[in-house]
């Protein structure tokens, strides 16, 4: 039972850190173009090799 004294603050700290990283990623624009990366991997960029 005494281990909960340590585990609960650690769990809350990890949750807070995850939430802070999520908000940092939202502010940094990581979720703005979700389809662009998926489309860029499928499009073959042969024009760049010829130039």
Q: What is the pLDDT of residue 18?
A: 98
Q: How do residues 10-42 score in pLDDT, each as one tens digit?
A: 999 999 999 999 999 999 988 888 888 788 888
50 has a pLDDT exceeding 80: no
3-class state of residue 8 by DSSP = helix
Which DSSP helix (H) or strand (E) runs through 18? helix 4-28
Q: What is the pLDDT of residue 37?
A: 78
Q: What is the pLDDT of residue 48?
A: 60
Q: What is the pLDDT of residue 7?
A: 97
Backbone angles phi, psi at 31, to 5 degrees: -110, 15
Domain boundaries, given as residue ranges, for the chain: 3-41
Q: What is the pLDDT of residue 21?
A: 97
């Amino acid at each position: 039972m005494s281990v909960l004294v340590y585990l609960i603050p650690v769990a809350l700290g990890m949750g807070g850190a995850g939430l802070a990283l999520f908000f940092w990623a939202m502010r940094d624009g990581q979720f703005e173009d979700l389809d662009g990366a998926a489309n860029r991997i499928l499009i073959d960029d042969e024009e760049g090799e010829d130039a």
